[in-house]
Structure 1
């Protein structure tokens, strides 16, 4: 085996709960099968008829994620995905006792707050998700919750990478989790920012986003911890920025979005020509998609016309604070399978953002030739994240 630097960070396990199913295998199979569709939200749709969401399956009765579980849906999804990721990485209780836990979430178990106050009157907060996962594995060392809106799990990934590169830990369980709640869904509908049909990024008739729920978790490890394990690939570079332009609206100039992409590429030691696929933020809102195209055009130049994008939110909706973690798991699975799944059909291409969304499966070039996968995640408040993932050891 080739000698690797102790600062390199590898993905050795993944776990997913999404609208496509309750495992990473079902997630990948669902991407292969084609686009899913959102469904009415029980209880809310009586008051807000256009309120749709990509709902994840409930857990078995009595398991975390069961609708009656007082811990909340986000916590339940996180626990289920975390167990899968830890098992996938082959971690023993000795490993999990020493691992760090870093989880990003925007609303956490907000649905619990809307329905009832749990016994004892304690309100659930976004921070309780990371605490529950750390407690479940007996990981009582470094437990960190990140909650800066829809870039939360992206920032969590950067924190996890930094913990390993600073030699503070060898293993981190990192990801994101969200459970549907009525308030954000109703608020987006009232703002006119929710599409009443389907999440359709880069479609000229898009009318807003559609939220999804679930959890995506990854086990990331140092080179020494991953030396004898199968790996999905390597986190080559991460970066974040904040433009602080407006509480909700993006900065249409896009300078900080260009900066964060270039910083991630620089940390990865890869120029734009090393990227073979982009998983965009691509929410389906008019401003986001057009702005993201202009950013990609600035970063990749004329090559953007032939650079394949995979529009993940067309399959699972906008999973808010968990969206970057879902994209990271998607990138790991693409690297493992050596291909990019076919995109959901774009029925009305938008000339203002003429990205290439391949409609058939596309081979991912083998390392080191254009094998990198670039991931974007943007958030309210101007928080921006980009990661570069490579399939090679």
Structure 2
């Protein structure tokens, strides 16, 4: 699949919202990036019993207080941050209640409401199983909670394909606009801290003991970060008609999957190269038209090598001068919202 940039309606970015370890709001995000980024610190969860407890955490003062519930579902930190960032994005886009009602919502979320499940399990440890049976709640509540909070009735979709989720969500949102299905989409993602995410990377030995250090010769893995990033996308014609401020154009996107291994990329980087070249072709651009790259850059030894070689294959000698911004060194690996943070930063 690809979001066709060479045909169909142009898609532009008109609203932004963000919460990260750098603080709450897009101004705090930019200020934090230009000041050198954040630093990991130990999680305070007493049940996170693992060797490496480091994470790029949203400061406690910047965590939204509520809403605590969506319908009958209790909301963990991730969905609550998603709602706060969504409110910022639609306000930044200048959307009134009637325009918000027409919005579609497409979010990329990996862990969703897992934090709430983990808290319940910790509180009910040792209790009879029957106590938890009637208290089940869905993991993928984030998109629905955001739609309800901003009054969006244009359709709600959640994409959950790991750390590529919100990148896919942005491309799907662009496809919807280009196909004429809608004029505006709120897209992005959100993730809160979870023991399962940290635990998995501890178990496979992929958690760096110092920091997330993409492309560093001493890198030993990645470290997670939490937060939310939201973007309002709309057709260029619609944005112009309502006098909206345009930040950037989302000119194309492309998908690929090497299916090489559940946790390791194809050492040859064939599909990464294919995805980049297809996106450039759909946008009608040449490699020398690109002014900068925000790579995936996890800091894991194998991924960074493969990504470096794929970039060299696509951009050749241009790599010697092409700016490359390693976002995860600033805010950690934000899992399902990593793609949205990349788009927001690149704009």
TM-score, length of structure 1 as denominator length: 0.79
Q: Distance in 2 between matches of 1:230 and 1:33?
A: 26
Q: Distance in 2 between matches of 1:314 and 1:91?
A: 33
Q: In the alignment, which of 85, 92, 102 is matched to residue 98 of structure 1? A: 102
Q: Distance in 2 between matches of 1:24 and 1:61?
A: 15
Gaps of 5+ in 2: 1-6, 122-131
Structure 1 pair 63–16 and aligned structure 2 pair: CA distance change class (3 A): same
CA RMSD of aligned residues (A): 1.9
Q: Comparing both structures, which one devotes a greater share of its residues to strand?
A: 1
Offset at residue 119 of structure 1 (A): 10
Contact 1:64 1:75 in 2 (8 A): no
Q: Distance in 2 between matches of 1:214 and 1:108?
A: 12
| Mapping for residues 214-225 of structure 1, pairs under 5 Å | 214-225=227-238
Q: Comparing both structures, which one devotes a greater share of its residues to helix?
A: 2
Secondary structure in structure 2 of the residue aligned to 1:13: strand
Q: Which has the higher contact order (CA 8 A, sep 6+)?
A: 2
Q: Distance in 2 between matches of 1:46 and 1:327?
A: 28
Q: Distance in 2 between matches of 1:9 and 1:121?
A: 42
Secondary structure in structure 2 of the residue aligned to 1:116: helix
2:248 is matched with 233
Contact 2:8 2:179 in 1 (8 A): no
Q: In the alignment, which of 110, 116, 121 is matched to residue 112 of structure 1? A: 116
2:137 is matched with 123
1:251 is matched with 266
Contact 1:188 1:194 in 2 (8 A): yes
Structure 1 pair 46–329 and aligned structure 2 pair: CA distance change class (3 A): closer
Offset at residue 246 of structure 1 (A): 1.3
My pick for the range that moved more, 212-221 or 104-113, is 104-113
Q: In the alignment, which of 13, 24, 27 is matched to residue 25 of structure 1? A: 27
Structure 1 pair 49–141 and aligned structure 2 pair: CA distance change class (3 A): same
TM-score, length of structure 2 as denominator length: 0.90
1:322 is matched with 337
| Mapping for residues 256-335 of structure 1, pairs under 5 Å | 256-332=271-347
Contact 1:74 1:214 in 2 (8 A): yes
My pick for the range that moved more, 52-61 or 18-27, is 52-61
Name the count of aligned residue pairs: 325
Structure 1 pair 308–92 and aligned structure 2 pair: CA distance change class (3 A): same
- Per-residue Cα deviation, 1:336-365 (whole angstroms, up to 9, x for no partner): xxxxxxxxxxxxxxxxxxxxxxxxxxxxxx
